Amino acid sequence: MVALTCMLMPEGPVGQIVEVAREAERLGFHRVWIPDEGLAARECYVTLAAVACATDRVEIGTGITNAYTRHPGTTAAAIATLDELSGGRAVLGVGAGGALTLDPLAIERTAPLSAVRNLITVARSLWSGEQVNTTAPTGSFRSARLDYGRPDIPVWLAGRGPKMMELAGELADGFIMSYMHKELIGDHVAAIANAATSAGRTRPRMAYMTLVATTDAQLDQVRAALTFRLVDSSPQTRALIGLTDAARAELREALASGGPAGAAHLVRPEWVTQFVIAGSAAECARELNGLIDQHGLDEFQVSLNDLDAGPETLATIAGLIAQ
């Protein structure tokens, strides 16, 4: 049976996030991800530590962090410490970094593929107790060593471009397809599988993340969630929905001035259903389970931005999968 995971956007108080995470564990969710969104939300490692102390079984991870806002050695140490605190439940989720996180900090996303590769390789070396000496634009090391860490801490990648998917097939334990255009899911699964085969590895676990909307109000909420994801989307995705360079630039400018809520009106309603599961409960169950079966997906990850509705939403998703 497909594993259920959830991404809790830490836009509310840490205590509320912890309560939703505890409910996810009670409902049988396998993993709770907390995004590292810089100034746009609560600090992810503080939040993850609070979740670790309040739960017993659920895995916890950065969903996702990047290779720019922290030195990769700092990230490796933070994940190893979280793993120790949680009794071996930590997961590193990493990606190239998006506009919502990097733009307010005036950080340029330089050579993202190399930056992510460097983060993964040095983190695994440090967790294995190896001495690291390397030079990289996003973090160099001189006789660096970490005297704690679990060598097999899982590493998941998230991304929208073909090169990041190739890297996932080569190095990652899992890949998160976040708000992926539904027509592209099969192509992306195949691309990652092919990259894994070329590297002599088995295919990473595949997770599909989106929002399930059974009401018009939930559909409207998706528009804000799609803003920064559309800004960072691949040329193939932009072509599919007709997102022009001018419209993309307008979205980016609105995000900079008003955040996702201030840019939501620029996301056309007809775009929304191409990225989310929407309809009645029965229709959503049929479409979601059909996508899981069709593409051989290992996990479904629900994106949860409304913490007040968190427990209800998690229960709904668990019921849809059960159908």
User: What is the gyration radius of the CA atoms in the chain, in angstroms?
Assistant: 19
> Among all chains, which residue has been given the structure tokens 């390397």?
134
pLDDT surpasses 80 at 323: no
State both tokens at 27: 């409902």
Four-CA torsion 54, 155, 226, 251, nearest 10 degrees: 120
Helix, coil or strand: residue 178: strand
> Which stretches does DSSP call E strand in the chain?
3-8, 31-34, 59-62, 90-94, 132-134, 141-144, 155-158, 174-178, 205-210, 212-213, 277-278, 299-304
Average pLDDT for 8-25:
96
Domain with CATH 3.20.20.30 in the chain: 3-217+281-322
Q: What is the predicted pLDDT for the residue at 176?
A: 97
The span from the CA of 218 to the CA of 81, in Å, is 37
Which residues does residue 302 pair with via DSSP β-bridges, in sequence order? Answer: 6, 210
Q: Does residue 115 register a pLDDT over 80? A: yes
Q: Does 225 score more than 90 pLDDT? A: no
* Residue partners of 29: CB distance under 8 A and separation at least 6: 4, 5, 6, 58, 314, 318
Band (321; pLDDT cuts 50, 70, 90): confident
Using the CB atoms, write b or e for 293-322: b if 16+ within 10 Å.
eebebbbbbbbbbbbeebbebbebbeebbe
C-beta separation of 1 from 318 below 8 A: no
| pLDDT tens, residue by residue, 280-289 | 989 999 999 9
Whether the pLDDT of residue 142 is over 90: the answer is: yes
pLDDT of 221 reads 81
pLDDT at position 305: 82
Over 90: is that where the pLDDT of 228 sits? no
Q: Which two tokens stand for residue 230?
A: 């559309």
Instruction: Say whether pLDDT at 160 is over 90.
Output: no
Neighbours of 151 (CB within 10 A): 11
d(CA 233, CA 61): 23
Cα–Cα distance between 63 and 166 in angstroms, integer? 19
Percent pLDDT > 70 in the chain is 100
Mean residue pLDDT of the chain comes to: 94
- In sequence order, the 6+-apart residues with CB closer than 8 A to the CB of 289 are 320, 321, 323
Q: Which pLDDT value is given to residue 218?
A: 82
Q: Taking 90 as the threshold, does the pLDDT of residue 100 lie above it? A: no
Taking residue 164's Cβ as centre, other Cβ atoms within 10 Å add up to 21
Q: Label residue 64 exposed, middle or buried (CB < 10 Å: 0-12, 13-18, 19+).
A: buried
> C-alpha angle 47/79/53, rounded to 5°?
40
The fold adopted by the segment(s) 3-217+281-322 is TIM Barrel (3.20.20)
Kindly state the average pLDDT of the residues 98-104. 88
Contacts of 248 (CB under 8 A, 6+ apart): 230, 231, 238
- In the prediction, which pLDDT does 214 show? 87
pTM recorded for the entire structure: 0.92
